[in-house]
Amino acid sequence: MAILPGITYTLSSLAYAAAIGLLSMGLTLTYLTTRIPNFAHATIGMIGSIVMLLLIDRVFYGSQSWLIYLLGPLAGGVAAAAFSVLMYRAILKPLADRGNSIIGLMIATLAVDIILLNILTLILNVVPGENIPKLIGANIIGFQPKIRVAGVVVDSYTIILPVAALVLATVFHLFLTRTSFGVAMRATIENPDLASAMGVNVNLVYMVSWAFSGFLAGAAGALMAFAFKGVDPAVSALVIVTVFAGSIVGGLTSIYWGLIGGVLVGLAEKLGTTIINNMYRAFLVPSLGLPNISLVNYEKVMSLGLVIIVLLYAPQGLAGVDWESILRRIKRARGGE
């Protein structure tokens, strides 16, 4: 039995990791600006998936056009961003202004999560559409264009998603460093009071950060619609665990480390579990007589294990690790040899 998984599986793991990375990045962003851990984040991403589903149903049914990769994430992202801003402006900000504690705000995001989850399920059940009933529970992977990599036909979304994640992260980085609003945003993250004294509209910055966060989630959700066997909003209940794991591994203090943490956790869940499972079945089962069970279902153990290791050895997350001193120590050790 081969230890390393095949190319199709590796690519879909990469796509999953990129989606989790985008979600963790958005979660870290809103936590950094408004200090609210958003438990509804994965369900907001699900809005993107539903928009993608409706787009395929109404516009792209039967045509395997590449245009869907431009329109889908854009439409899904905008829809999710709109909801995200609405959630912050209409619900969370009034609650915070009335002096609710952070626990109260967390409960509020859980409440929004449940409302949104049930509304999305209602939409899927109630919205009349010719093909929707066929799409629910079906595999919409057939509606995407296919391409060949190294002679193997692979799902094109698995190529598009990591590229999209890189593009979005780069655009966001340029926005933060090259525009004055981006600089204002970074200043607000560092010190809201000082930034507001310097004339930065802090409330606008908070709203923009929720919009960005929602856009990233919606875009990731739209592309991930292909990975789910049919779109079931309840998937978000488990995805949110992974997203929080990614953010904590990243440290919840830097959006770039949020992205990296999300990607790491996503890869550990998919590729890591499969490799461990293959090794377990190839070596430990025959030699030690352990039960021949599949470990693939236990992928969430990997993400929580990573979180526990990080919290034990680097409580500030990967962002809090002093990488420069580690690099210097490695260089010195090499120089000493």
Partner 1 sequence: MVNWWIFSDSFLITILAYIVVSISLNLEAGFTGVPNFGKHLFVFLGAFAAQGIGVRIAAWLYQVVNPEAASQALKEVGRLVPGAHWSSIVEAAADTGANRIIVNSYLKPFVVENLAVEIALLFIVLGVTILLAMIFGLLASYAALRLREEYLAILLLSFSELMVMVVFYQTESLNGGNKGLWAITFTHNPIRFALIGSAVLAVLAFIYAERLANSPMGRAMRAVRDDEIAASVFGRDIASIRLKAIIAASVLAALAGFFYTQNNASATAITFNRVIWTFLPWAMIILGGMANNKGAVIGTIVFLIGKRIFEYYQEPIGKLLHIQAELVGSMLPNILIGILILLVLYLRPQGIIPEHMSKTIEFSKLAEEVVGKENAREGSSAQREED
CB 268 within 8 A of CB 42: no
Query: Nearest 5°: CA angle at 120, between 118 and 121?
Result: 65
CB of 227 to partner 1, least distance (A): 19
- Return the number of the residue (37 or 230) whose C-beta is nearest partner 1: 37
CB of 336 to partner 1, least distance (A): 36
Binding site for partner 1 (CB under 8 A): 37, 39, 91, 94-95, 98-100, 102-104, 106-108, 110-115, 117-119, 121-122, 125-126, 237-238, 241, 244-245, 248, 291, 297-301, 303-304, 307, 311
For residue 165, what is the DSSP state?
Answer: H
Euclidean distance between CA atoms 230 and 48, whole angstroms: 14
CB of 310 to partner 1, least distance (A): 11
- Return the number of the residue (103 or 197) whose C-beta is nearest partner 1: 103
CB 14 within 8 A of CB 162: yes
* DSSP result, 25-60: HHHHHHHHHH----TTHHHHHHHHHHHHHHHHHHTS
CB of 151 to partner 1, least distance (A): 35
- Return the number of the residue (107 or 183) whose C-beta is nearest partner 1: 107
147 sits in which H/E element: strand 146-149
- Return the number of the residue (115 or 136) whose C-beta is nearest partner 1: 115
- Return the number of the residue (52 or 249) whose C-beta is nearest partner 1: 249
309 sits in which H/E element: helix 299-313
- Return the number of the residue (170 or 294) whose C-beta is nearest partner 1: 294
CB of 283 to partner 1, least distance (A): 22
CB of 265 to partner 1, least distance (A): 11
Euclidean distance between CA atoms 224 and 23, whole angstroms: 11
- In the numeric block, the tokens 């998603």 are attached to 161
What is the CB neighbour count within 10 angstroms for residue 330? Answer: 10
